[in-house]
Chains A and B, each alone.
Chain A
Amino acid sequence: MSDIGATLPQGRPARIRLDNDALVKRGLMIVIAAYLFAALALPLYAMLSKSFTTYSFDLTRYEFQVSDESGTNWSEPVTAKALNDKLSAVPPADLDTISDGRLPATSFFPDFSFRSPVKYRIRGTVENAPYLVGLDPFNSIEWKEVDSNTFRRVMLRPVQSRSLANYKTYFSTPSLFLSIENSFFIASVSTAITILLAFGFAYAINRSCMPFKPALRLIAMMPILVPSLLPGIALVYMFGNQGYMKELLLGESIYGPLGIVIGSVFFTFPHALIIISTALSISDQRHYEAAESLRASKWRTFWTVTIPGARYGLISAAFVVFTLVITDFGLPKVIGGQYNVLAVDIYKQVIGQQNFEMGAVVSVVLLIPAIIAFIVDRIVQKKQVALLSARSVPYEARPNRRFDMACLGWCAVVAIFILGIIGTCQFAALIKFWPYDLSLSLKNYDFDRMDGGGWEAYRNSIQLALLTAAIGTAIIFTGAYMVEKIDGFRTARGLFQFLAMLPMAVPGLVLGLAYIFFFNNPANPLNFIYGTMTILVVSAVTHFYTVGHLTALTALKQIDKEFEPVAASLRTPFHRLFARVTVPVCLPAILDISIYMFVNAMTTVSAVVFLYSTHTALASVAVLNMDDAGDIAPAAAMGMMIFYTNAAARIVHAILSRGVLSRTQAWRFR
């Protein structure tokens, strides 16, 4: 019975025939992968190719003829280039233009007069020589004859070519590339401060016996419920030209790096806290006992046990915060003043100058740090998970009055900062006319009397958030189920995983711009969704896909992997198992995904700012636009509307999780 020398005989492995279930599962996975492909990969590709696209007037492509006054005798044909060489009418630099550029044909005829009886002819020397006559586009090598009055309205159009020229322009324009430095500076400083504050806070929550822990935790999570630009508005009220604490700045201006950093610390704090707190909560009591038995000082224990134990959490949190800050657009827009950062540059290039190509270039520049941070975070998260699964004894804090009070002090400072920002906004929203009439009123909530979309914008936001939560959760959970529970089909599953992780690496503003290029292209059959609620939902679902996907995967990995085999042996199709077992068992995770999608769809500015239309104005964008228009108090009021809504949604979520779950999941509680 020796097995030495046993070798696999020739032949092929058994190929299990695909049953209905397998086909349906694969089909669903392919559909969702196709969704991600169309909503993410293709737009990004369109944007990337746009960044390499340049537009210029190619004068060699056009020929003109001019008649004499009788209109019958024509001059020899002459190219626009020859005319320009002779006249230097248009300097070479002006020949580079944007996709929408127009060059009047009359530029090459200095003695042109629209009243003259002279006639003109224009034609292309090659196939692609676009020009306009009035609004009508022409592109032909046939002569087109026009009278003087019409010739006035002949415009040459640029032709497209691919090159690195946009990047060259970018890196040779100091006002543009200076933003890289500014962005990195802001992101680094904000990250350092946030991580320090969040670590202290997490440490206090996990390692001390201080009082008021639940309340402090609740306050710490509040910034998640508001748009990132809201702290900007509060800071204007606190430290702006008429701010009530202006003196504290000793003449420094809040408009600029200072304001951006303070606001960034505010809105990134809860994200850092969640990650670090998780890392601290899994560290092992036994290490501390060992350190104690070695009579290590508290200080030494901190540096040799606590910090190394939490290092993955700290690194991960740092990269997450860095990415959030560097890709955020709302806050620097509101409080940045003249201080340029990458995200705002994209907005300015696109909305201000209509230079979409340059917007694409800045997007690519912004994508690079985001992708690096994403990769580092993924690597670190994997290690953290490995730590998590190791058996450990959770740390139990022992009361120590002085230490506990110090912890409480630290947390109180953070809590006051957060409450101060939100409180200021609430205050601003209710004051009649700061700082002259401090009486309370609700007039700032009368949004229909302001620009920015009014109450309809708020209703649209609710609609967007509900749709994103419902559709997003369904797509995300189904996709995660398919990728987790399909047998074989390895390559496709790997590709799906990649597509599902990618959104995390793509800043919202970049995604939005990519959508313009992709969906606003008339040649795209999906063009019809441009300017509708649909594109906003697609953008929001895609932008927030990854976190939901990871949540779903974690939940799915926890359920018994033998359920599918059992169902198959009972010849029950998977969709019945899915509906009757998988979904009910994963309901807590599903609710978590939906509240995450809801809150983020309510607060996001960056993912939607390029995509909303007059019919689909949104509350978060209204905050931005009202602030831009100087209606700061109504902007604060709208920001607070978002806050109330999200807070209410969180409460509903908590009630659902407790109440309804205790009924549908009676099995959990025995």
Chain B
Amino acid sequence: MSTSTARGRRTAKPKAQKPAGSSEPYLRITGLWKAFGEFLALKDISLDVNQGEFICFLGPSGCGKTTLLRAIAGLDPQTRGTISQGGKDISELPASGRDYGIVFQSYALFPNLTIERNIAFGLENAGRPRAEINARVKELLDLVGLPDQAKKYPAQLSGGQQQRVALARAIAVSPGLLLLDEPLSALDAKVRVFLRHEIKELQRKLGVTTIMVTHDQEEALSMADRIVVMNHGVIEQVGTPTQVYRHPASLFVADFIGETNKIDTKVAAGKAKIGKAAITFKAEDAPKSGEVIAVIRPEDVIPHSAGPKRAKARGSRGANLIDVKIDSMEFLGSYWRAHLGGTSLAGVPMVANFSMNAVRRLGLEEGIDMTVELPAERVLVFAKAG
């Protein structure tokens, strides 16, 4: 019963992390290790996934995402650690004893069965009456938007359509957990964006707890309730898309998600030197002195003032302003990308994204001198070689 209410309450808003002390998470992974011979593909992975949540495993290729997913599915048993689902320890259950539907990157559709027989494959085994199965298949075909493809063979469908069939087959038996391994990677960009939306909608409608593996940060940011950022077999950070984007827990996460200016520099007296300027920053657990990497995203570089009004404006606020020169600008459709230089930066490369609005308002153009602000709460500082 609690399940249905939880589902009913779900909204489009990213879900906050579960407060401590609430009931058991739906899926709990504790101290998971996976060794392939000497090689450790997963190192001490612990993770809780809540009922109805959409989780993305995000990380570069080879970081262990698929390995973790296959351990959850019981396809490649973990070397150490436990997994429980719905309060039940499933660590040593075979795949057939677990409760999930899975979609592989290859789709793995049965080539000799029609679309409807593919979707019905899991239903037929349950021994339900033919009419009921047919009705369910029809319902699923409608759900994934392929109502008139029932009689075709997989090879007659496009990649995106095949992926939807695979999805319909996986959810046909109403599994408690949906596992998706790079479901969109093989598709072309347009279809991919469209399907992102579709999958997300579907998941929301069904309220099924979902784990999706991807190496595409945009995909993760746009779909996930929470993102699990992985690297070299460890979890770097778990958080909502805004959390991992705004407050990356490590340089790796900052670098992997979104664009960054990475500046190799020093911290002294609580300020980071960028070019000739000393910049304050607010990050609490950042080092107070020594060699660091300062990180600021291009869209966080705020155009402050340009041209003759500059000196006057400058006097009003002294903090974190740098005088720069626009070396070049590219028009990227909805915004401009500026490559900044000038004496104050002293050769530190910096890229900024300026809105159309700001460019028009301040009269920004190539070669112009201007002042930018690096807001203290947007400057991230990480100890070097971390």
Contacts and interface: CB of A to CB of B under 8 A. Distances in A.
B92 A15 contact: yes
Interface residues of A, number: 41
Contact of A6 (B43, B79, B93): B43
Interface in B84-110: 91-98, 100-102, 104, 106, 108, 110
Given A9-B33, A670-B155, A1 B231 contact: yes
B125 A573 contact: yes
A563 interface: yes
B80 A1 contact: no
Contacts of B113: 580-581
Contacts of B122: 569-572
Contacts of A585: 110-112
Contact of B169 (A6, A570, A571, A665): A570
B43 A569 contact: no
Interface in B181-224: none
A560 B102 CA distance: 15
Contacts of B43: 3, 6
Contacts of B93: 16-17
Nearest to A563: B108
Contact of A560 (B77, B106, B173, B232): B106
B153 interface: yes
B295 to A, nearest CB: 16
Contacts of B40: 6, 8
A584 interface: yes
Interface residues of B, number: 55
Interface string A1-38: 11100101101011111111110000000000000000
A21 B96 contact: yes
B44 A13 contact: no
Given A571-B125, A572-B122, A580-B113, A562 B77 contact: no
B170 interface: yes
Taking each of B73, B110, B125, B155, which has the highest tally of chain A beta carbons within 10 Å of its own beta carbon?
Answer: B110
A563 B122 CA distance: 12
Contact of A18 (B94, B110, B155): B94
B261 interface: no
Interface string B247-288: 001101000000000000000000000000000000000000
Taking each of B35, B106, B121, B233, which has the highest tally of chain A beta carbons within 10 Å of its own beta carbon?
Answer: B121
B343 interface: no
B94 A19 contact: yes
Contacts of A670: 153, 155-156
Contacts of A571: 96, 122, 125-126, 173
A63 B18 CA distance: 98
Contact of B79 (A13, A576, A584, A668): A13
A20 B94 CA distance: 10
A568 B40 CA distance: 27
A487 B75 CA distance: 9
Contacts of B21: none
Interface in B111-165: 111-113, 121-122, 124-126, 153-156
Contacts of B303: none
B190 to A, nearest CB: 24
A566 B95 CA distance: 9
A633 B80 CA distance: 75
Contacts of A21: 94, 96
Nearest to A19: B94
B308 interface: no
17 contacts: A1-B231, A3-B43, A6-B43, A6-B44, A9-B33, A9-B80, A560-B108, A565-B75, A566-B169, A569-B96, A569-B98, A569-B100, A569-B122, A570-B101, A570-B169, A581-B112, A664-B112
